Protein backbone atom coordinates (compact mmCIF):
# COMPACT_ATOMS: atom_id res chain seq x y z
CA UNK A 1 0.00 0.00 0.00
CA UNK A 2 2.84 2.38 0.70
CA UNK A 3 3.84 2.04 -2.97
CA UNK A 4 0.27 2.92 -3.94
CA UNK A 5 0.29 5.90 -1.58
CA UNK A 6 3.62 7.05 -3.03
CA UNK A 7 2.27 6.83 -6.59
CA UNK A 8 -0.75 8.91 -5.59
CA UNK A 9 1.53 11.50 -3.96
CA UNK A 10 3.57 11.80 -7.17
CA UNK A 11 0.53 12.78 -9.26
CA UNK A 12 -1.20 16.15 -9.74
CA UNK A 13 -1.95 18.61 -6.96
CA UNK A 14 -5.23 17.08 -5.74
CA UNK A 15 -3.84 13.54 -5.73
CA UNK A 16 -0.60 14.71 -4.14
CA UNK A 17 -2.47 16.04 -1.10
CA UNK A 18 -4.30 12.72 -0.66
CA UNK A 19 -1.14 10.66 -1.21
CA UNK A 20 0.86 12.71 1.27
CA UNK A 21 -1.94 12.40 3.84
CA UNK A 22 -1.99 8.62 3.39
CA UNK A 23 1.82 8.41 3.59
CA UNK A 24 1.79 10.40 6.82
CA UNK A 25 -0.70 7.96 8.34
CA UNK A 26 1.44 5.02 7.17
CA UNK A 27 4.54 6.53 8.81
CA UNK A 28 2.64 7.06 12.05
CA UNK A 29 1.21 3.54 11.94
CA UNK A 30 4.61 1.93 11.47
CA UNK A 31 6.18 4.04 14.20
CA UNK A 32 3.53 2.67 16.58
CA UNK A 33 3.83 -0.87 15.17
CA UNK A 34 7.58 -0.94 15.79
CA UNK A 35 6.95 0.08 19.40
CA UNK A 36 4.43 -2.78 19.76
CA UNK A 37 6.88 -5.22 18.22
CA UNK A 38 9.75 -4.19 20.50
CA UNK A 39 7.50 -4.29 23.58
CA UNK A 40 7.48 -0.60 24.51
CA UNK A 41 3.74 -0.21 23.78
CA UNK A 42 0.95 -2.60 24.72
CA UNK A 43 -1.19 -3.96 21.90
CA UNK A 44 -4.36 -2.47 23.47
CA UNK A 45 -2.83 1.01 23.43
CA UNK A 46 -1.79 0.47 19.81
CA UNK A 47 -5.31 -0.67 18.88
CA UNK A 48 -6.78 2.49 20.42
CA UNK A 49 -4.41 4.68 18.38
CA UNK A 50 -5.22 2.73 15.21
CA UNK A 51 -8.91 3.60 15.56
CA UNK A 52 -7.98 7.26 14.98
CA UNK A 53 -5.55 6.46 12.15
CA UNK A 54 -8.05 4.21 10.46
CA UNK A 55 -10.66 6.96 10.43
CA UNK A 56 -8.20 9.39 8.83
CA UNK A 57 -7.10 6.81 6.23
CA UNK A 58 -10.74 6.05 5.39
CA UNK A 59 -11.40 9.79 5.03
CA UNK A 60 -8.45 10.22 2.60
CA UNK A 61 -9.45 7.13 0.59
CA UNK A 62 -13.08 8.26 0.44
CA UNK A 63 -12.01 11.68 -0.82
CA UNK A 64 -9.84 10.09 -3.52
CA UNK A 65 -12.56 7.62 -4.50
CA UNK A 66 -15.05 10.47 -4.92
CA UNK A 67 -13.26 11.85 -7.99
CA UNK A 68 -15.63 11.68 -10.96
CA UNK A 69 -14.15 9.22 -13.45
CA UNK A 70 -15.48 8.32 -16.88
CA UNK A 71 -15.13 4.78 -18.17
CA UNK A 72 -11.78 4.39 -19.89
CA UNK A 73 -10.39 7.58 -18.35
CA UNK A 74 -6.60 7.26 -17.96
CA UNK A 75 -5.98 10.59 -16.23
CA UNK A 76 -4.03 10.81 -12.96
CA UNK A 77 -7.23 11.65 -11.11
CA UNK A 78 -8.87 8.52 -12.54
CA UNK A 79 -5.90 6.40 -11.41
CA UNK A 80 -6.13 7.88 -7.94
CA UNK A 81 -9.89 7.29 -7.79
CA UNK A 82 -9.53 3.66 -8.92
CA UNK A 83 -6.75 2.95 -6.42
CA UNK A 84 -8.73 4.50 -3.57
CA UNK A 85 -11.88 2.58 -4.54
CA UNK A 86 -9.99 -0.72 -4.64
CA UNK A 87 -8.45 -0.06 -1.23
CA UNK A 88 -11.84 0.83 0.25
CA UNK A 89 -13.21 -2.51 -0.97
CA UNK A 90 -10.63 -4.37 1.16
CA UNK A 91 -10.37 -1.78 3.92
CA UNK A 92 -11.45 -4.19 6.67
CA UNK A 93 -8.68 -6.65 5.79
CA UNK A 94 -6.04 -3.92 5.82
CA UNK A 95 -6.34 -3.68 9.59
CA UNK A 96 -6.43 -7.38 10.47
CA UNK A 97 -2.93 -7.25 11.98
CA UNK A 98 -4.15 -4.88 14.70
CA UNK A 99 -6.31 -7.51 16.40
CA UNK A 100 -4.81 -10.82 15.25
CA UNK A 101 -1.54 -11.76 16.85
CA UNK A 102 1.00 -13.18 14.42
CA UNK A 103 -0.32 -11.21 11.44
CA UNK A 104 2.19 -8.65 10.19
CA UNK A 105 1.27 -5.30 8.58
CA UNK A 106 3.72 -5.97 5.74
CA UNK A 107 4.14 -8.58 3.05
CA UNK A 108 7.80 -9.16 3.95
CA UNK A 109 7.25 -12.78 5.03
CA UNK A 110 5.51 -13.58 1.75
CA UNK A 111 8.24 -11.91 -0.26
CA UNK A 112 10.92 -13.84 1.63
CA UNK A 113 9.02 -17.07 0.99
CA UNK A 114 8.84 -16.34 -2.75
CA UNK A 115 12.48 -15.30 -3.07
CA UNK A 116 13.92 -18.81 -3.70
CA UNK A 117 11.39 -19.39 -6.49
CA UNK A 118 12.20 -16.04 -8.11
CA UNK A 119 15.93 -16.69 -7.92
CA UNK A 120 15.48 -20.20 -9.34
CA UNK A 121 13.42 -18.84 -12.25
CA UNK A 122 16.01 -16.17 -13.07
CA UNK A 123 19.00 -18.49 -12.93
CA UNK A 124 17.43 -21.49 -14.69
CA UNK A 125 15.46 -19.68 -17.43
CA UNK A 126 12.27 -21.38 -16.25
CA UNK A 127 10.71 -24.50 -17.71
CA UNK A 128 9.90 -25.54 -21.25
CA UNK A 129 6.54 -27.23 -20.70
CA UNK A 130 3.36 -27.14 -18.66
CA UNK A 131 4.36 -30.38 -16.93
CA UNK A 132 7.76 -28.90 -16.09
CA UNK A 133 6.10 -25.82 -14.62
CA UNK A 134 3.74 -28.02 -12.59
CA UNK A 135 6.68 -30.07 -11.28
CA UNK A 136 8.61 -26.96 -10.26
CA UNK A 137 5.57 -25.45 -8.54
CA UNK A 138 5.03 -28.63 -6.54
CA UNK A 139 8.69 -29.00 -5.60
CA UNK A 140 8.92 -25.38 -4.49
CA UNK A 141 5.78 -25.86 -2.38
CA UNK A 142 7.18 -29.02 -0.80
CA UNK A 143 10.58 -27.51 -0.01
CA UNK A 144 9.15 -24.27 1.38
CA UNK A 145 6.62 -26.15 3.51
CA UNK A 146 9.21 -28.54 4.90
CA UNK A 147 11.76 -25.82 5.60
CA UNK A 148 9.16 -23.75 7.42
CA UNK A 149 8.59 -26.80 9.66
CA UNK A 150 12.34 -27.44 10.06
CA UNK A 151 11.91 -30.83 8.40
CA UNK A 152 14.54 -32.50 6.22
CA UNK A 153 13.64 -32.07 2.54
CA UNK A 154 15.81 -34.94 1.25
CA UNK A 155 14.43 -37.30 3.88
CA UNK A 156 10.86 -36.40 2.95
CA UNK A 157 11.49 -36.79 -0.81
CA UNK A 158 13.20 -40.15 -0.27
CA UNK A 159 10.25 -41.37 1.81
CA UNK A 160 7.80 -40.07 -0.83
CA UNK A 161 9.65 -41.86 -3.66
CA UNK A 162 9.81 -45.11 -1.66
CA UNK A 163 6.07 -44.84 -0.94
CA UNK A 164 5.32 -44.28 -4.64
CA UNK A 165 7.37 -47.35 -5.59
CA UNK A 166 5.34 -49.43 -3.10
CA UNK A 167 2.10 -47.88 -4.42
CA UNK A 168 1.42 -46.30 -1.02
CA UNK A 169 0.24 -42.77 -0.24
CA UNK A 170 2.90 -40.08 0.02
CA UNK A 171 3.83 -38.88 3.50
CA UNK A 172 1.92 -35.85 4.72
CA UNK A 173 3.29 -32.34 4.42
CA UNK A 174 1.25 -31.41 7.47
CA UNK A 175 3.27 -31.25 10.66
CA UNK A 176 2.86 -34.12 13.10
CA UNK A 177 0.89 -32.33 15.80
CA UNK A 178 1.70 -34.89 18.49
CA UNK A 179 5.42 -34.52 17.73
CA UNK A 180 5.14 -30.72 17.79
CA UNK A 181 3.40 -30.86 21.17
CA UNK A 182 6.11 -33.19 22.51
CA UNK A 183 8.85 -30.84 21.24
CA UNK A 184 7.09 -27.87 22.84
CA UNK A 185 7.00 -29.66 26.22
CA UNK A 186 10.70 -30.53 25.90
CA UNK A 187 11.52 -26.90 25.11
CA UNK A 188 9.55 -25.72 28.14
CA UNK A 189 11.28 -28.26 30.40
CA UNK A 190 14.74 -27.14 29.20
Instruction: Tell me the DSSP string of 63-123.
Output: HHHTS---TT--SHHHHHHHHHHHHHHTHHHHTHHHHSTT--SSSHHHHHHHHHHHHHHHH
CA distance 22 to 6: 9
pLDDT over 90 (residue 176): no
Query: Is 154 or 13 the better-scoring residue by pLDDT?
Result: 154
pLDDT in tens, 82-122: 999 999 999 988 888 888 777 778 777 777 778 888 888 88
pTM, to two decimals: 0.62
Closest CA to 63 of 27, 6, 14, 1: 14
CA distance 80 to 12: 10
Whether the Cβ atoms of residue 82 and residue 69 lie closer than 8 Å to each other? yes
pLDDT in tens, 32-86: 999 988 889 898 899 999 999 999 999 999 999 998 888 888 888 889 999 999 9
Amino acid sequence: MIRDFQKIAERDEDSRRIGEGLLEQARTLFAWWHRVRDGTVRRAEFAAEVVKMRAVVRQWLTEGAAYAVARGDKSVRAKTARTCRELLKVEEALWLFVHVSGVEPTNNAAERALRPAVIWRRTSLGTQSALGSQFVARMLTVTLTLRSQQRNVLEYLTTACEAARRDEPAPSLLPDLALLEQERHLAIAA
